Amino acid sequence: MSPVALSFSTVLALAAAVTISSVSAQQSTFPPTPLADKHFAYPTEVPYKVDTDTNLIRGQQTGYNICNSTTENQASLCQTAFINSIDDFCLWGPKDPGSIVANIEGEMISWCTKPGHGSRLIPNDALKGVQFMRTPDYVQVVGFIDQTKINMASDDWGGEMDPHGADLRGNPMGGLFYSNSFGTDKNKFTQVIEWHNFMGGNAFCLKACDPAGPNAAHFCEHRFDRIGCAYNAPNNAQNGTFEACKGDNQDFPGIYTLPDGTVATYTQPPEDAGSIQTMPYQPKVPASSECETFTSSVLFAALASVTAPGDATSAPASTPTAGGSSNANTSGGSGVSTRGTGTGTGSAQGAQGTSNDAETMVVSGVVTLFGVVFSAMFFA
Ligand SMILES: *[C@@H]1O[C@H](CO)[C@@H](O)[C@H](O)[C@H]1NC(C)=O
Ligand SMILES: *[C@@H]1O[C@H](CO)[C@@H](O)[C@H](O)[C@H]1NC(C)=O
Ligand SMILES: *[C@@H]1O[C@H](CO)[C@@H](O)[C@H](O)[C@H]1NC(C)=O
């Protein structure tokens, strides 16, 4: 959401934040430098914390950006993430079990599929299906996950993370993304300036746009936080399938072509207008090719011994698959999905509920519910 277009709920939330913390009038919302303008060569320039402003409304950065073997454990608060390949990517997830993403978008930490990033590892068997897509302008990973294993509440329809947010500090605040996908040297990690990540409904999508591309900000658009993966990352990922493909670029999120050939732009209604009940278009899933399929136990062999907090001991009281609920194939969550596509994306949708505003926290309960309603409509 752009800083000038603060929604009603955002304003309310900001007011609430100020009241709750009874902060003095000196506290402000915006940092002098937006997160998306902070660029650090990896690893030499990465600071301990990227977000160092101490007088801002959302408080301080939760974790840190220098992550190494010392920080690599299941209590890590690493907020530097990577997206390199189908067997090597990180997602943003909560630090504490049972969390609702919309409440803590600003505090998400990195959960990775491989050791070596100083982050938490995604527990064994959490990933149920993954599609990695490389296109001319971005790399994208979409998948199905038992989200309780990365500390999300089972019925959470989630939220959207990106390096902007209503106050430009990013969600998570200070979060960095790197990739070795945009060059030939696999040991060179380029900072991804524009990216978006929807988590929720037991599915996820993450797109990292090539910073050298002319349209990175468009492909990785961060404004459509209420319409999920299906519209922000149209895909045909399938639950149970692990594959890496090459693909054409998507349309820019929110841009679509009418039957008569006219190109139109979608306007996302504000949250205070209620849940989104209809969409004027179906997103187009781009063509893909050269898909290679994999076995998850081979891809994620390093995760074999990693257990989720609840797994080792007794099962949580509520059953973890609830999220699945929706899942009518399409989506489970993923609701998002373009229906057509089925899946994967879906997640996002669910995710939609959440807004990317920093301050959605106050309304998050409601937002999550909207997410469910919205996805129910798509599943029906
Ligand atoms: C490892 O990371 C921690 C946390 O950011 C940092 O304090 C420490 O200096 C790092 N260690 C090395 C050897 O870089
Ligand atoms: C999921 O959807 C696809 C395509 O719509 C369909 O072919 C498949 O049978 C569905 N799977 C389940 C488990 O419903
Ligand atoms: C994906 O498939 C697994 C079974 O392998 C199922 O438990 C899970 O609910 C499915 N996820 C979604 C989002 O449909």
pLDDT digits (tens, 9 = 90+) for 266-288: 999 998 999 999 999 999 999 99
Name the range with the highest mean pLDDT among 300-304, 339-343, 366-370.
Answer: 300-304
Return d(Cα 141, Cα 326) in angstroms, integer. Answer: 21
pLDDT tens digits, residue range 284-296?
999 999 999 999 9
Does the CB atom of residue 329 touch ligand 2 within 6 A?
yes
**Which residue puts its alpha carbon closest to atom 14 of ligand 2?**
329
Nearest ligand, CA of residue 327?
A: 3
**Ligand 3 binding pocket mutation candidate from 131, 202, 378 (most atoms within 8 A of CB):** 202
Beta carbon of 70 within 6 Å of any ligand 1 atom: yes
Closest CA to 206 of 143, 276, 283: 143
pTM above the 0.95 mark? no
Read off the pLDDT band of 318 (50, 70, 90): very low
**Domain extents in the chain:** 30-312+333-377
CA of 195 to the centre of ligand 1 (A): 26
Q: How far does Cα 83 stand from its chain's mean position?
A: 12
The whole-number pLDDT of residue 25 equals: 55
Three-point CA angle 63, 171, 308, nearest 5°: 60
- Ligand 1, closest atom to CA 67? 2
Among candidates 198, 43, 78, 206, which has minimal Cα distance to 139?
206
By C-alpha distance, which of 80, 195, 215, 199 is closest to 139?
A: 195
Our measurement of the distance from residue 327's CA atom to the centroid of its chain's CA atoms, rounded to an integer in Å, reads 19
Q: Element (H or E) spanning 376, and its range?
A: helix 364-379
CA 147 to chain centre: 12
The answer to whether 345 and 286 have CB atoms below 8 angstroms apart is: no
Say how far residue 55 (Cα) sits from the centre of its chain: 27
User: Helices (DSSP H) in 28-172: which residue ranges?
Assistant: 101-104
Give yes or no for residue 66 CB within 6 A of ligand 1: yes
Q: Is the separation of the CB atoms in 144 and 128 below 8 Å?
A: yes
Residue of 44, 70, 77 to mutate, ligand 1, most atoms within 8 A of C-beta:
70
Lining ligand 3 with CB less than 6 A are 128, 144, 202-203, 239-240, 321, 324, 327, 332-334
**What per-residue confidence (pLDDT) applies to 236?**
96
Look over the chain and give the mean of its residue pLDDT values, rounded to a whole number: 81
In this prediction, residue 7 carries a pLDDT of 42
Query: Distance, CA 115 to ligand 2 centroid (Å)?
Result: 34
Q: Which ligand is nearest to the CA of 329?
A: 2
How far apart CA 324 and CA 190 sit, in angstroms, is 35
Per-position DSSP letters for 139-192, written without gaps between them: EEEEEEE-GGGGTB-TT---EEEBS--TTSSTBTTT-EEEESTTSS-TT--EEP
- How high is the pLDDT of residue 99? 98
Task: Quote the ligand 3 centre to 336 CA distance (angstroms).
Answer: 14
Residue 342 Cβ contacting ligand 2 at under 6 Å: yes
Residue 131, helix vs strand vs coil: strand
For residue 66, give the amino acid letter: I
**Contact yes or no for 90/121 (Cβ under 8 A):** no
pLDDT at 149 > cutoff 80:
yes
Atom of ligand 2 nearest to the CA of 339: 5
- Return d(Cα 36, Cα 30) in angstroms, integer: 13
**Amino acid letter for position 95:** K
Half-sphere exposure (CA, 13 Å, Cβ side) for 125? 5
Q: Which of 71-80, 91-100, 207-216, 328-337 has the lowest mean pLDDT?
A: 328-337
pLDDT at residue 309, as a whole number:
79
Which ligand neighbours the alpha carbon of 73 most closely? 1
Angle at the Cα of 47 from the Cα atoms of 97 and 360, rounded to 5 degrees: 40
Strands 176-179 and 255-257: unpaired
Q: Helix or strand or coil: residue 106?
A: helix
Distance 354 CA to ligand 2 centre (A): 27
For residue 65, the CA-to-ligand 1 centroid distance in Å is 9
Distance of CA 115 from the midpoint of ligand 1 (Å): 16
Residues 205-224 pLDDT 10s = 999 999 999 999 999 999 99
Cis peptide bond N-terminal to 43, omega within 30? yes
Question: Does residue 170 have a pLDDT over 70?
Answer: yes
Ligand nearest to the CA of 117: 1
Binned at pLDDT 50, 70 and 90, residue 24 comes out as low
Strands (E), the chain: 80-85, 88-93, 109-112, 120-121, 127-134, 138-145, 159-161, 176-179, 190-191, 195-200, 203-209, 242-247, 255-257, 263-265, 288-293
CA-to-CA separations, 297 to 62, 252, 304, in angstroms, rounded: 32, 34, 8
| Closest residue by Cα to residue 64 from 82, 56, 76 | 76
**Better-scored residue on pLDDT, 131 or 15:** 131
Q: Is 340 in the pocket of ligand 2 (CB under 6 A)?
A: no
3-state secondary structure of 298: helix
The neighbour count for residue 11, using CB atoms within 10 Å, is: 14
Q: Rounded CA gap, 122 and 145, in Å? A: 10
Instruction: Say yes or no: CB of residue 315 within 6 Å of ligand 1.
Output: no
Q: How much is the average pLDDT of 168-184?
A: 97
Protein residue with least CA distance to atom 10, ligand 2: 329
Q: Measuring from atom 1 of ligand 3, which residue has the nearest CA?
A: 239
| Ligand 1 proximity of 68 Cβ (cutoff 6 Å) | yes
Rounded to the nearest angstrom, the distance between the alpha carbon of 211 and the centre of ligand 3 is 34
Ligand nearest to the CA of residue 200, numbered in listed order: 3
Query: Per residue in 39-56, pLDDT tens?
Result: 999 999 999 999 999 899
